[in-house]
Chain A
Amino acid sequence: MITATINGNVVEIPEGTSILDAAKRLAIKIPVLCKHPDLDHTAACGICVVRNKSNGRMLRACCTPVEAGMDLLTHDPEIVGVRRTILELMMSKHPNECLTCGRSGDCELQTLCQDFGIRREELPNITPDLPKDCSTGTIELDPRKCISCGRCVQVCQDKQNVWALSFLDRGIDTRIATAGDIPLNESPCVSCGQCSAHCPTGAIVEHDESGIVWDKLQDPDAICVVQIAPAVRVAIGEAFGFAPGANLTGKTYAALRQMGFKYVFDTNFGADLTILEEASEFVERFANGKGELPLITSCCPAWVDFMEKYHSDMIGHFSSCKSPHEMVGALAKTYFCERNNLDPKKVFMVSIMPCTAKKMEIKRNEDMASSGMQDVDVSLTTRELARMIKQAGIDFAWIPESQPDHLLGAYSGAGTIFGATGGVMEAALRTAVHMVTGEKLGKVEFEATRGLKGIKEATLNVAGHEVRIAIAHGLGNVEMVVNKVREAKAKGEPLPYHFIEVMACPGGCVGGGGQPYGVTDEVRLARAKGLYSEDTAGVWRNSHENPYIQELYRTYLDKPLSEKSHHLLHTHYKVRPTYQR
């Protein structure tokens, strides 16, 4: 530990602590636009300058470690002046379009300009005329609004290992683009949206499709139905002043009903169903030797796209299960319509997801139209839903809670925890044990699957069998896991794992690319805690205990992996090029 002085206050910190972090301990906020708690410092923006009092020099707080005995000053008129100049320079290369920007009201640049009381453009505006890229239909890239902080590039390259985004050119011409300026949908982009979750401005935002949904809600012929993903319920509140992790399932149902949705379902039901299918797949492969091991989970569309582009030799290992919202979509237009005498052609299915990649998934191949029409019509992110609730004039804090439509809305705790990294694995293991032994689990928790460690490996005793598992979240953590499998296969050695779970976003869906802004590990853990608490408090802890799932199999699907299940609930994969040109 070393001690230093900041603004006259002594602080004791471990050696290597940055000035930025040391100041935080003294409740001093140094403005910053490039450094993000998830990422390494790049010292790109320069707004975090502070003064070393002993020699008067200015230092960047994000990238300078505190030295023992340092005497620092974070705010004086000159420092504030430098920061203001940096903001003015940024503004001179940034379109003044706040009122029509997707980040307005929740933009780090706008907030700082507001804090600094900037009231006019001091410098002539030289914003380059660069085209917007809306090619993916998931995220939209507006390079004119980029302040070259480098967060998206670092996330895309280092954290996600996708390498779609890069900095092209240099100096004043530096811009974010794909290699060779091709459209994003022809690049390796997997639409995970982590770039949008980390962007400080409106340079990368989700493709907003709320307009289509409003139109359908006004259409007297349409039967609008909706489902919400596990991770949405513990994050939506952040847009309304609730703490991260506050479970607002009932309020979200109520808001959706008030907005005009005829039926409100829950993707957690789909998660339970996924578990019945996927655990059966695992047992088939593990106990009966039918199919390749390890089995790899397939609920995450960004991961599926990444696998098809970068790890297509793993296709045989992939679970053929569709993701939960696709299962609910398929059943809403078949099973649910048949039970309620509804015309499936009139049903308009909206899924509310923490995810930008789901917007791409709903059209990824012909299996996404297993009901005879597109199973999920529109997928909205948590951020879009928050705006819709505000537009509808709903006082979210005070709205009384509602219930889902149980036929496709009742769920177990195992379905809820799907939203956190390790949750799919844990839920699947609970049901797999039951399938092998026929017994009820005494202790349902598998703690080894939880937490934010990038790769979680464990050897578990499942019904007397040794089961080796691996859980990776953040696509940058995938490489090591699949390479271990490749090596073992090449050498003919025992498989390192039997079951692998991958979620593209750090923390899993709770940290999804479509979630409210400002995510850090602290927020991810709080949101995950909200899900685990619901699991603990629930009546059913195992997917197979969900009586509505049992009814679905009894009256409609017959049994897991049945012909009908395969038709409605499963899909296939194909090799995709990383670059289409």
Chain B
Amino acid sequence: MSTNDQPAAPAKPVLAQPAAPGKPAAPSDQTAIIAKRWRAKRGSLIMALHEVQETYGYVPRDVALKLAPQIGVPVARIYEVLTFYNYFKTSAPGKFVVSVCTGTACHLKGSGDILANFSAQLGCKEGESTTDKLWHLQGVRCIGCCGIAPAVIVNGKVFGKLKPADVGDVIDKVLTADAAAAKV
């Protein structure tokens, strides 16, 4: 709601945050580097979180707890932002992240059926990972590939103009490419 309208402009003072006893140490160096890069710039929480997600594949809890005092943003605000945007993940995704675009163009071109097919063939719901942690399925808003709608991104590789029947193909291609890369 309104609190979420401008989630990236924290104006609160830095709160002293004693470390939780008995917690495994977060990879503090990396967090500190990210925090240092962004803390001076007001309104850069989202950028910092992007960098965390690029580093870890998601935003781990211990990194969020460590980041908060270092960039002067309360943990609660970090989670407001993390849960507001579909893009951010708070748990480890699968090895292959399938992002099905559900933006307007893709939606009109039938991305709903594509998402449903992925869900059926992978055996996990949208926003979840397969039990073997190999696949993570997510619907994302516009990925800027409206010209080839409906589009899907798997680990950075774009598949366009898909039909629901192509889903099995995409899965095979990803697995084949991965196997080939493993041999090299």
Contact = CB atoms under 8 A, between A and B. Distances in A.
Nearest to A45: B1
Contact of B12 (A161, A311, A578): A161
Contacts of B80: 166-168
A463 interface: no
B6 interface: no
B18 A577 contact: yes
Contacts of A309: 18
B12 to A, nearest CB: 7
A23 interface: no
Interface stretch (B32-40, B70-78, B106-114, B159-167): B70-78
Given A163-B75, A577-B21, A579-B75, A154 B3 contact: yes
B126 to A, nearest CB: 13
Contact of B75 (A42, A174, A179, A479): A179
B16 A42 contact: no
B86 to A, nearest CB: 9
A165 B80 CA distance: 10
B3 A167 contact: yes
A180 B80 CA distance: 9
A285 B67 CA distance: 39
A148 interface: yes
A44 interface: yes
Give the contact-size bracket for chain B. Answer: 20 to 34
A163 B18 contact: no
Interface in A532-581: 575-581
A164 interface: yes
A329 to B, nearest CB: 30
Contacts of A575: 18
Contacts of A169: 83-84
B1 A313 contact: no
B16 A179 contact: no
Given A157-B74, A164-B76, A180-B79, A174 B65 contact: no
B13 interface: yes
Given A164-B76, A166-B77, A44 B1 contact: yes
Given A157-B76, A180-B79, A310 B15 contact: yes
Given A170-B83, A180-B61, A311-B16, A150 B77 contact: no
A402 interface: no
A153 interface: yes
B4 to A, nearest CB: 6
A581 B3 contact: no
Contacts of B19: 577
A125 interface: no
Contacts of A153: 3
Nearest to B13: A479
A178 interface: yes
Contacts of A479: 13
B147 to A, nearest CB: 28
Contacts of A581: 20, 23, 61
Interface in A18-47: 42-44
Contacts of B17: 578
A3 interface: no
B76 A178 contact: yes
Contacts of A164: 76
Contacts of A174: 1, 4
Contacts of B75: 163, 179-180, 188, 578-579
B4 A170 contact: yes
A130 to B, nearest CB: 14
Contacts of A403: none
A150 B1 contact: yes
B104 interface: no
A163 B83 contact: no
B79 A179 contact: yes
Contact of B83 (A150, A157, A168): A168
Contact of A150 (B3, B16, B90): B3
Contacts of B18: 309, 312, 575-578
A418 to B, nearest CB: 28
Interface centre among A169, A312, A576, by most chain B C-beta atoms within 10 angstroms, is A169
Contacts of A44: 1-2
Contact of A179 (B1, B13, B23, B78): B78
A369 B12 CA distance: 38
B78 to A, nearest CB: 7
Contacts of B2: 42-44, 150
Contacts of B90: 180
A310 B18 CA distance: 8
A580 B20 contact: yes
A165 B75 CA distance: 10
Contacts of B64: 179-180
Contacts of A180: 61, 64, 75, 79, 90
Contacts of B78: 179
Contact of B1 (A163, A167, A311, A577): A167
Contacts of B21: 577
A43 B17 CA distance: 33
A44 B5 CA distance: 11
Contacts of B74: 157, 163
A179 B4 CA distance: 14
B79 A166 contact: yes
Interface string A290-313: 000000000000000000011111
Contacts of A163: 12, 15, 74-77
Interface in A304-324: 309-313
Contacts of B79: 166, 168, 179-180
8 contacts: A154-B3, A163-B12, A165-B76, A167-B1, A169-B84, A174-B4, A577-B18, A581-B61
Given A163-B74, A479-B13, A581-B23, 10 more contacts: A148-B1, A166-B80, A180-B75, A309-B18, A310-B16, A311-B16, A575-B18, A576-B18, A577-B18, A578-B75
In the A-B complex, the 6 residue pairs with the smallest Cβ-Cβ separation, listed nearest first, are A179-B79, A166-B76, A163-B74, A577-B20, A42-B2, A163-B76
